């Protein structure tokens, strides 16, 4: 919300109070009674509005929070896809080296001269989900 919008909102609330005062006077309230009734009604509206804001803020259902959540999910999906494409474009040896360097595989896993024991999955099976 910009400063100008904040000022307009304040003027609108002020105008709503004046409108309430005029309506209460038109319906038979006199002098201070119309002012008190209009102020009370305006105060109930502002407190209710503030309560809904606090409820949304505490529950995390604010527009900004939801936009961030949606953006983050889309960003994670896009980066995951891009990284997967780059990983798939690597040679199997480079994939193994990268997995070892990042700690996803132990350094001694799948050495060229060692065969997997019975029941163990190979790195290629792990990489391609064939376990």
Q: Which two tokens stand for residue 70?
A: 């949606």
Decide which of 62, 81, 99 is a domain's last residue: 62
Question: 81 and 27, same structural domain?
Answer: no
Question: 98 and 69, same structural domain?
Answer: yes
Question: 88 and 46, same structural domain?
Answer: no
Q: What span, in angstroms and rounded, lies between the C-alpha atoms of 68 and 70?
A: 5
Number of H-type helices and E-type strands within the chain: 5, 0
Overall pTM surpassing 0.75 (yes/no): no
> How many domains would you assign to the chain?
2
In this prediction, residues 67-77 reach a mean pLDDT of: 92
Question: 24 and 7, same structural domain?
Answer: yes
Q: What span, in angstroms and rounded, lies between the C-alpha atoms of 110 and 116?
A: 7
Expressed as residue numbers, the domain containing 55 is 3-62
Dihedral over Cα of 84, 88, 90, 93: its sign? positive
Highest mean pLDDT among 2-6, 75-79, 102-106, 110-114: 75-79
Question: 53 and 34, same structural domain?
Answer: yes
Q: What span, in angstroms and rounded, lies between the C-alpha atoms of 25 and 34?
A: 6
Check: CB of residue 38 under 8 Å from CB of residue 17.
yes
Question: 121 and 72, same structural domain?
Answer: yes
pLDDT reported for residue 85: 94
Question: 102 and 74, same structural domain?
Answer: yes
pLDDT reported for residue 15: 92
Question: 95 and 78, same structural domain?
Answer: yes
């Amino acid at each position: 919300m910009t400063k100008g919008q904040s000022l307009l909102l304040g003027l609108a609330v002020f105008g709503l109070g004046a409108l309430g005062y005029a309506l209460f006077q038109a319906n038979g309230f006199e002098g201070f009674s119309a002012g008190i009734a209009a102020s009370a009604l305006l105060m109930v509206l502002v407190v209710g509005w503030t309560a809904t804001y606090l409820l949304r803020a505490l529950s995390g259902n604010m527009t900004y929070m939801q936009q961030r959540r949606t953006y983050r999910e889309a960003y994670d999906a896009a980066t995951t896809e891009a990284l997967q494409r780059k990983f798939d474009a690597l040679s199997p040896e480079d994939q193994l080296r990268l997995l070892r360097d990042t700690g996803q595989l132990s350094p001694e896993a799948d050495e060229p001269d060692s065969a997997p024991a019975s029941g163990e999955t190979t790195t290629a099976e792990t990489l391609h989900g064939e376990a």
